[in-house]
Amino acid sequence: MAAPMGHHVAAMPAEEEEKEEAGPGSWEPSGAAPYGNFPHYSRFHPPEPRIGLLPVGLLQSLFPAQGSVPRPLLGLDVGCNSGELSIALYRHLTAPPAAGTGLGPAPDLHLLCCDIDAGLVERARRACPFPGALSFVPLDIMDPTAREPVLASFLARHGRPAFDLGFCMSLTMWVHLHHGDAGLRALLALLASLCRFLLVEPQPWRCYRAAARRLRRLGRRDFDHFRSLGIRGDMAQNVAQILTGELGMELHSCFGTTPWDRSLLLFRAAP
């Protein structure tokens, strides 16, 4: 059952937040990983706690079968890192239902997974056990010139105008830090325009502070927009307000929070 927006579990201690992403990044050997492109991210934030919050039969409930041969569903996973969560999501969402649940078979799902770090994307490609269902591409989703042909080609290949389901898992902070309030709004507007349903996992504000501290410890310049951000505080509420109040989506479900205090929010395009 989905949890209300106010539901929280214990947050990760501040010292763990500091240590969680301290390994060297593949984007920059300094270890700053300024785009969130940590090469061993799943060691600190493994897929299982997120997957465990998603109900069994989610696809069947969101997309009831129509006709004898249901059409495949299309998904977009933005900021996929090295693919561990993408693969876990695919496995969970397409798993055969247990006997006695009354659920029909899950529809076919094709995922387009992208990340700004080409090295991480290549690792995901090599490790993916479902190459026919998951496509991994290096892509800066904030670059219209780069993204438009990639998205258009994938949708055209499947004969579809939009994605059924989008995933934006722990990406909002990095876009916000690099592109400011306008960039965060632009990302959410893009995903709202592309996806019938959108699953978002916003980072809480304390993660912004931890990311800025990492750069300072490494002697790096602060994120361009960190000190000028007007959108701050409860980021799950802020993201929900933008998607519902400004972009016309509806909050369908809050599936709860992970052990590191990140909410899983599912939004639906207004009918």
Q: What is the pLDDT of residue 92?
A: 97
| Domain annotation covers residue 158 | yes
The number of distinct structural domains making up the chain is 1
Q: pLDDT at position 271, please?
A: 84
Residue 60, in any domain of the structure = no
Grade residue 67 by pLDDT with cuts at 50, 70 and 90: low
CB 125, CB 136: distance < 8 Å: yes
Average pLDDT over every residue of 238-267? 97
Q: Mean pLDDT throughout 67-79?
A: 88
pLDDT digits (tens, 9 = 90+) for 217-235: 887 778 989 999 999 999 9
185, part of any domain: no
The rounded distance, in Å, linking the Cα atoms of 201 and 71 is: 27
pLDDT band, very low/low/confident/very high, at 32 (cuts 50, 70, 90): low
What mean pLDDT value characterizes the chain?
87
Query: Does 147 fall in a domain?
Result: yes
CA–CA distance, 75 with 78 (Å, rounded to integer) = 10
Which of 15-24, 33-42, 210-219 has the highest average model confidence (pLDDT)? 210-219
Encoding tokens for residue 30?
């300094």
* Inside any domain, residue 114: no
17 vs 127 pLDDT, higher one: 127
Per-residue model confidence as pLDDT tens digits over 163-206: 999 999 999 999 999 999 999 999 999 999 999 999 999 999 99
Is-above-0.85 flag for pTM? yes
Whether residue 190 contacts residue 221, with contact meaning beta carbons closer than 8 Å, is answered with no
Please say if the pLDDT value at position 210 is more than 70: yes
Q: Is residue 93 part of a domain?
A: no
Strands (E), 36-148: 73-78, 109-115, 134-138
Structure confidence at residue 170 (pLDDT): 94
pLDDT recorded at residue 68: 63
Show the domain range for 147.
139-169+202-217+224-231+262-270
pLDDT in tens, 136-160: 999 999 999 999 999 999 999 999 9
How far, in Å, CA of 128 to CA of 134, rounded? 8
Rounded Cα distance between 170 and 41, Å, is 11
Helices (H) and strands (E) in the chain, counts: 10, 7
Pairing label, strands 163-169, 109-115: unpaired
- Whether the pLDDT of residue 38 is over 90: the answer is no
User: For 232, how many CA atoms within 13 A lie in the half-sphere containing its CB?
Assistant: 12
Asked whether residue 35 is domain-assigned, the answer is no
8-state DSSP, 228: G
Specify whether the backbone of 64 is left (phi greater than 0), alpha (psi in -120 to 50) or beta: beta
**DSSP line for 234-254:** -HHHHHHHIIIIIT-EEEEEE
Would strands 263-269 and 195-201 be described as parallel, antiparallel, or unpaired?
Answer: antiparallel
Confidence of residue 28 (pLDDT cuts 50, 70, 90): very low
Coil, strand or helix: which one is 76?
strand
Which tens digits make up the pLDDT trace of 77-122?
999 999 999 999 999 999 988 776 778 888 999 999 999 999 999 9
Query: Which comes out higher in pLDDT, residue 164 or 16?
Result: 164
Q: Which residues contact 181 (CB under 8 A, 6 or more apart)?
A: 225, 229, 230, 231
Q: Please indicate whether residue 105 or residue 5 has the higher confidence score (pLDDT).
A: 105
Domain-embedded: residue 110 = no
